[in-house]
Amino acid sequence: MHTIVYDNPDQLARSTAEKIIGTVEHNPNALLCLAGGETPRLTYRYTAAIAKDKGIDFSAVQFVSLDEWIGVSTSNTGSCYYFLQQMLFAPLDIPSANIHFFDACAVDLDAECKRIDNIIGQLKDIDLMLVGIGMNGHIGFNEPGVAVDQAAHTTVLDISTQQVGQKYFLENTALQKGITLGMAQFMQAQTAILLASGITKAAIIKKALEEEITNAVPASFIQKHGNAFVMLDMAAASLLQ
Ligand code: PGA
């Protein structure tokens, strides 16, 4: 695990965007799993801008969902799909056939998990998986206590996740359950990036990186990942030794 600390959120975002771009330059057919959430917003803005500037062809890149709020449709501005559509898929002209996202309104959610697992299996490994970290140490919707050998699954969300999640929505929204890739898929990703910015993430970053590896803090498993980068700004890194 490599921990890299940047002076400010702008440098963090620029460097993370360059890592995404580098992955695609190296492998134009890469399979990417990119988180929604506030943390990577600037990273994606830079990714779209650099790709346009340098003329990087994203047309054969494949994208797979990290997580979604169960019951929230793709047209809801709070869905991960909507966010990535705005930030990356539309600006980069990604063909819809290359976008493999959970349908969080599917009647059979177990079948939906299997569908996404199968797509990842067919496309081989995830080349780059970029995640944020929840205030409770979650990765995607792998909440504290998760079975870490799981692939895609549905879960009841922590109360803290339900409350913090309201920030993505224009109106109060029921957010009891989530659908997510599992820790097994995170650990199998060729390259994993954990991105965190701001003082509010400092305590959980310290716990995840410097304390024991435990499913009580799912992000702590990044310590065991063979090729992981923890990319932080100074504020998020401020409690690290
Ligand atoms: P955030 O979400 O980027 O909006 O802080 C992170 C997460 O909950 O995984």
- Residue 101 CB neighbours (<10 A): 19
Burial of 43-66, coded b for 16+ CB within 10 Å and e otherwise, reads bbbbbbeebeeeebebeebbbbbb
pLDDT in the model for residue 124? 87
Q: How far is the CA of 38 from the centre of ligand 1 (A)?
A: 6
Q: What residues are labeled active site?
A: 67, 136, 138, 143
d(CA 185, CA 171) in angstroms, rounded, equals 32
Mutate to test the pocket of ligand 1, among 42, 87, 133 (most ligand atoms within 8 A of CB): 133
Report the alpha-carbon distance of residue 92 to residue 85 in Å, rounded. 9
Q: Tell which atom from ligand 1 comes closest to the C-alpha of 201.
A: 5
Collect all residues with Cβ–Cβ distance below 8 Å to 133 and sequence separation of at least 6.
139, 194, 196, 201, 204, 205, 208, 219
Intervals of the chain under pLDDT 70 = none
Question: How far apart are the two ends of the chain, measured CA to CA in Å?
Answer: 15
> Nearest Cα to 102, choosing from 8, 33, 188, 39?
33
Query: How buried is 115 (Cβ within 10 angstroms: 0-12 exposed, 13-18 middle, 19+ buried)?
Result: middle
E strand or H helix at 71, and its extent? none
Whole-angstrom distance, CA of residue 241 vs CA of residue 43: 26
Question: Which residue's C-alpha comes closest to atom 2 of ligand 1?
Answer: 37
**Predicted model pTM:** 0.97
How many angstroms does the Cα of residue 188 sit away from the middle of ligand 1? 21
For 4, the 3-state DSSP assignment is: strand
Comparing CA positions, the residue from 222, 151, 158 lying closest to residue 183 is 151
